[in-house]
């Protein structure tokens, strides 16, 4: 039985809280401690936790100090800017760690956590649970098989409208930094982080670590008052020359959904949330994808197994999660976040809630996605000119292209 603790039980932390309670009911864990900074808001949860023998602490430092040497695993579903600090502290207190995705805001934070892993002989799992789908290694093997032929391109698309309430839900939504620490909260680092990560994984077979040589990006914002992007296109080129495109938007006109297509010389694969379609020549096979609690259980089974020294499946580690952080950092080095002129955007009401949409986005995004290219600056002349960033020896994000919006400065 594992001794566990959790830092934060609000927001997405409620999902981790539920995970731990389910595992406790199965007799797999003891829940020794919870760090809850908003105890008055979470009085009911705190009361229940205390009723089952879980100690409540005002801070993660107090909890880790009190439980030092007693924990096997610590869940850390906190803000992006806090992952590295808290994960390192938990490892130094003797615990393995599960952090929420993404691993961190910067590659240097990921490197610091990897150093702590080596020094403490503990490990960090990252909540990229969709990469735990049983279809993912099948896709990677199929797309890099002799029958499939050379991979020509990987094209990812993540489009979902977000209204003003989405950006008011916490203190860091849509921000570049919080309290001087990088966050880079954009569709790539939040809503579509899972899918960008998958697209990058598909660039190599399951027995190989994906590697990249360059990144180019177009980042822009439509919603007023944001610092970071709410739209973009990223092109990451693998060391073997495979272009990986990912188009993302929170201000589409009508488009909605997520999918990734891998184009090969003799076939293709189309992945979406619910299903994967494998095509070879004129034949196709469709498989239903694992989802919901079953998917989280696959991730947790693997993580709990690793804590017991057993192999019970796949849970994303820091090395694989670092791919995502690397590409997001390089995207911000490639392109400043352009501000879309007000005359190219318009507010609209959906179900009584107002949101913004970018005129002409759906048509141009669909054209770029179908052809595998960056967005056309002739269609969107306000796009900043971007540069190709080499990432083969990339170890530090400085954010020299990042600048806050005019409204945020004023």
Predicted confidence (pLDDT) at residue 23 exceeds the cutoff of 90: yes
Least confident span in 15-29, 162-176, 231-245, 294-308: 162-176
pLDDT over 90 percentage in the chain: 94
Report field, pTM of the whole predicted structure over 0.75: yes
C-beta separation of 362 from 254 below 8 A = yes
CA–CA dist 112, 74 (Å, integer):
18
Least confident span in 26-35, 54-63, 344-353: 344-353
Predicted confidence (pLDDT) at residue 242 exceeds the cutoff of 60: yes
Joined tokens for residue 224: 């007023």
Label residue 47 by pLDDT band (50, 70, 90).
Answer: very high
Q: What is the pLDDT of residue 409?
A: 44
Q: What is the pLDDT of residue 394?
A: 97
Predicted confidence (pLDDT) at residue 31 exceeds the cutoff of 50: yes
CA–CA dist 209, 319 (Å, integer):
9
C-beta separation of 324 from 193 below 8 A = yes
Domains and their CATH numbers in the chain: 2-126 (3.40.50.720), 131-289+316-409 (3.30.360.10)
pLDDT over 70 percentage in the chain: 98
Q: What is the pLDDT of residue 410?
A: 38
Give mean pLDDT, residues 92-100: 98
> C-alpha angle with apex 257: 253 to 263, nearest 5 degrees?
115
C-beta separation of 253 from 358 below 8 A = yes
Predicted confidence (pLDDT) at residue 93 exceeds the cutoff of 80: yes
pLDDT digits (tens, 9 = 90+) for 100-121: 999 999 999 999 999 999 999 9
Predicted confidence (pLDDT) at residue 408 exceeds the cutoff of 80: no
Distance of CA 288 to the CA centre of its chain: 22
pLDDT digits (tens, 9 = 90+) for 322-331: 999 999 999 9
C-beta separation of 209 from 378 below 8 A = no
Predicted confidence (pLDDT) at residue 193 exceeds the cutoff of 80: yes
Q: Is 21 exposed, middle or buried (0-12, 13-18, 19+ CB in 10 A)?
A: middle
Predicted confidence (pLDDT) at residue 196 exceeds the cutoff of 70: yes
Predicted confidence (pLDDT) at residue 377 exceeds the cutoff of 60: yes
Predicted confidence (pLDDT) at residue 406 exceeds the cutoff of 80: no
Helix (H) or strand (E) holding 114: helix 107-120
- Single out the residue of 39, 19, 42, 41 nearest to residue 31, CA to CA: 19
* Average pLDDT of every residue of the chain: 96
Label residue 405 by pLDDT band (50, 70, 90).
Answer: low
Helix axes 318-334, 193-201, angle to 10 degrees: 110
Give mean pLDDT, residues 225-231: 95
- The torsion angles phi and psi of 118, rounded to 5 degrees, stand at -65, -40
Measured CA distances, 409 to 227, 228, 265 (Å): 9, 13, 50
């Amino acid at each position: 039985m594992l001794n566990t603790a959790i830092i934060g039980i609000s927001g997405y932390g409620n999902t981790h809280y539920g995970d731990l309670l389910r595992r406790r009911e199965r007799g797999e864990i003891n829940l020794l401690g919870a760090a809850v900074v908003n105890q008055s808001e979470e009085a009911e949860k705190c009361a229940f936790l205390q009723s089952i023998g879980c100690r409540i602490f005002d801070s993660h430092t107090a909890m880790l100090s009190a439980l030092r040497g007693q924990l096997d695993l610590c869940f850390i579903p906190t803000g992006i800017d806090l992952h590295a600090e808290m994960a390192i502290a938990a490892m130094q207190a003797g615990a393995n760690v599960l952090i929420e995705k993404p691993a961190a805001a910067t590659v240097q934070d990921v490197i610091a956590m990897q150093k702590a892993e080596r020094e403490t002989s503990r490990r960090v799992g990252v909540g990229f649970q969709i990469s735990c789908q049983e279809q993912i290694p099948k896709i990677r093997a199929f797309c890099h098989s002799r029958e499939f032929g050379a991979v020509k391109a990987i094209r990812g698309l993540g489009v979902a409208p977000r209204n003003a309430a989405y950006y008011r839900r916490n203190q860091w939504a849509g921000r570049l930094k919080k309290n001087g620490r990088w966050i880079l909260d954009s569709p790539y680092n939040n809503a579509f982080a899972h899918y960008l990560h998958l697209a990058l994984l598909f660039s190599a077979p399951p027995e190989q670590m994906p590697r990249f040589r360059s990144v180019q990006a177009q980042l822009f914002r439509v919603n007023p008052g944001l610092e970071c992007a709410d739209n973009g296109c990223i092109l990451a080129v693998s060391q073997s020359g495979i272009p990986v495109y990912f188009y993302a938007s929170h201000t589409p006109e009508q488009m909605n959904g997520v999918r990734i297509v891998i184009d090969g010389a003799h076939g293709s694969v189309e992945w979406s949330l619910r299903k994967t379609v494998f095509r070879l020549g004129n034949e196709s096979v469709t498989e239903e994808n694992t989802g919901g609690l079953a998917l989280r259980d696959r991730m947790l089974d693997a993580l709990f197994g690793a804590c017991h020294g057993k192999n019970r499946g796949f849970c994303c580690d820091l090395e694989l999660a670092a791919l995502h952080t690397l590409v997001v950092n390089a995207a911000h080095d490639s392109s400043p976040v352009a501000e879309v002129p007000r005359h190219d955007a318009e507010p609209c009401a959906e179900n009584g809630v107002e949101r913004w949409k970018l005129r002409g986005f759906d048509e141009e995004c669909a054209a770029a996605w179908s052809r595998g290219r960056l967005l056309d600056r002739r269609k969107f002349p306000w796009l900043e000119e971007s540069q190709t960033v080499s990432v083969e020896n990339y170890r530090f994000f400085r954010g020299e292209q990042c600048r806050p919006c005019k409204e945020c400065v004023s």
